[in-house]
Amino acid sequence: MIPLHSHPAGRHFLQIPGPTNVPDRILRAIDNVTIDHRGPEFGVLGKSVLGGLKKVFKTQADVVIYPSSGTGAWEAALVNTLSPGDLVLMVETGHFATLWKKLALKLGLQVEFLEGDWRHGIDPAQIEARLAADKAHQIKAVCGVHNETATGVTSNIAALRKAMDSSGHPALLMVDTISSLGSMDYRHDEWGVDVTVAGSQKGLMLPPGLSFNAISAKALAATETAALPRSYWDWKEMLAINPSGYFPYTPATNMLYGLHEALEMLFAEGLDNVFARHDRFGEATRRAVRAWGLEILCQNPSEYSSALTAVVMPDGHSADAFRKAVLQHFNMSLGQGLSKLADKVFRIGHLGDMNDLTLCGTLAGVEMGLEVAGVPHKKGGVQAAMDYLTQSSMAALARAA
């Protein structure tokens, strides 16, 4: 076996768009001793985290927790509501939308995949038109990604819901919030989402290992006819026992400790403050990117992500060589470009347990890395970010006064 904790001096900057830097409080919570998952103490924990999660999803409906990665929650959303051969409408917003599509195909669903350029979010009008054309209601569900982790492009879910409503189509709406929940505003009930998919390792600041579904009454009703085989992901067994705070199979107790702590932290800061903090980080990062003379992958400002920013590498330069130099010189991990974008973009995660100074350190690492890697750029990115952060921090204080 090999030693695992021999790192360079100073704290590593984990600035991939998730898993994010897990705060000490959460790591310490996770390392509490494991308790009897059928004992009285556990029920209190279970009820507490299930209740807290509803506030984060902004829902009164049901939420389930899986011991699994976020990928599992994608699968759960589909197998609980659909039958083999069902048609699902998906939109190619990027790598993760594409993975969800592949997963659906592997499960035996049919997928209509609306092509995209990986630089824009979902077009509600396009969905509305497609649904309107589906007179026979063959489309059983529309699946979209709220925040494409591969591109830093968000989609307007409220507008998407409105478009679906306008079409009068009964398809379910399923939304992946894996990299947005807990970082950007999201409203399961108000936006009329039927199944929301989420994971622990991004805005919730936990290590990977838990995933979630928020489930509307309509989605729950769909389970009655959904014929895809399911057991591990079956909502019904979960929901039958969850009200008492327990789970049908052994839950990931220690991760639930961490979730409990994460919820306490989010509520102590206030969700709106959390979102505002991420918005500031997004804007500061984009100002830095522009000052460097580099291109933001996301092309529509109204679709900028507050959780991460994907940056286009100048032609003839390798994003991966750049990222490698950053890791080697500056002890920071940045997100790689995925599939179509491999080696062409790098992604700066600015979500989770971060503050202004970790963001400045992050952007300094990018700016210095561009120099070290010989990537053409202008200086002044960190300066631009600092100017904005200073300004907005002073403005916030003035407002508070």
In our burial notation (b when 16+ CB lie closer than 10 A, e otherwise), range 146-172 reads: bbbbbbbbbbbbebbbebbeebebebb
Q: Is 62 in the site for its own copies (CB under 8 A)?
A: no
Q: Is 140 in the site for its own copies (CB under 8 A)?
A: no
Among 94, 121, 251, 282, binds its own copies (CB under 8 A): 251
Judged by CB under 8 A, the number of residues near its own copies is: 115
For residues 68 and 93, the answer to whether their CB atoms sit within 8 Å is: no
30: left (phi over 0), alpha (psi -120 to 50) or beta: alpha
For residues 21 and 14, the answer to whether their CB atoms sit within 8 Å is: yes
Sorted by sequence, the CB contacts under 8 Å of residue 240 that are 6+ apart come out as 248
Closest approach, Cβ 262 to its own copies, in A, equals 10
Among 123, 185, 234, 283, binds its own copies (CB under 8 A): 234
Q: Tell me whether residue 166 or residue 392 sits nearer to its own copies (CB atom).
A: 392
Whole-angstrom distance, CA of residue 230 vs CA of residue 382: 50
Closest approach, Cβ 297 to its own copies, in A, equals 19
Interface mask (CB under 8 A) for its own copies, residues 85-104, using x and -?
-----------------xx-
Residues 265-284 that bind its own copies (CB under 8 A): 265, 267-269, 274, 277
Sorted by sequence, the CB contacts under 8 Å of residue 201 that are 6+ apart come out as 18, 19, 20, 70, 207, 208, 209
Stretch that binds its own copies, among 106-114, 181-189, 190-198, 309-317 (CB under 8 A): 106-114
Which of 67, 140, 108 is closest to 229 using CA atoms?
108
- Both tokens of residue 261? 């702590």
Closest approach, Cβ 171 to its own copies, in A, equals 21
Residues 356-375 that bind its own copies (CB under 8 A): 356-358, 360-362, 364-365, 367-368, 371-372
Q: Tell me whether residue 160 or residue 256 sits nearer to its own copies (CB atom).
A: 256
Closest approach, Cβ 191 to its own copies, in A, equals 25
Among 53, 56, 63, 75, binds its own copies (CB under 8 A): 75
Which of 154, 164, 179 is closest to 126 using CA atoms?
164
How many Cβ atoms from other residues are within 10 Å of residue 202's Cβ? 28
For residues 317 and 375, the answer to whether their CB atoms sit within 8 Å is: yes
Which of 14, 91, 95 is closest to 297 using CA atoms?
95
Interface mask (CB under 8 A) for its own copies, residues 296-335, using x and -?
-------------------------------xxxxxxx--
Residues 3-22 that bind its own copies (CB under 8 A): 4-14, 16, 18-22
For residues 189 and 345, the answer to whether their CB atoms sit within 8 Å is: no
Q: Tell me whether residue 230 or residue 286 sits nearer to its own copies (CB atom).
A: 230
Q: Is 106 in the site for its own copies (CB under 8 A)?
A: yes
Sorted by sequence, the CB contacts under 8 Å of residue 47 that are 6+ apart come out as 243, 244, 245
Q: Tell me whether residue 44 or residue 221 sits nearer to its own copies (CB atom).
A: 44
Q: Tell me whether residue 168 or residue 229 sits nearer to its own copies (CB atom).
A: 229
- Both tokens of residue 339? 């599939």
| Residue 25 assigned as binding residue | no
Residue in the block written with tokens 């969905």: 127
Among 89, 91, 97, 107, binds its own copies (CB under 8 A): 107
Stretch that binds its own copies, among 129-137, 154-162, 243-251, 292-300 (CB under 8 A): 243-251
Closest approach, Cβ 213 to its own copies, in A, equals 14
Q: Is 84 in the site for its own copies (CB under 8 A)?
A: yes
Whole-angstrom distance, CA of residue 253 vs CA of residue 207: 13
Whole-angstrom distance, CA of residue 33 vs CA of residue 141: 42
Q: Is 203 in the site for its own copies (CB under 8 A)?
A: no
Closest approach, Cβ 39 to its own copies, in A, equals 5
Which of 158, 86, 169 is closest to 130 using CA atoms?
169
Residues 21-50 that bind its own copies (CB under 8 A): 21-25, 27-40, 44-45, 48
List residues forming the annotated binding site. Answer: 347
**Which residues are annotated as part of the binding site for substrate?**
347
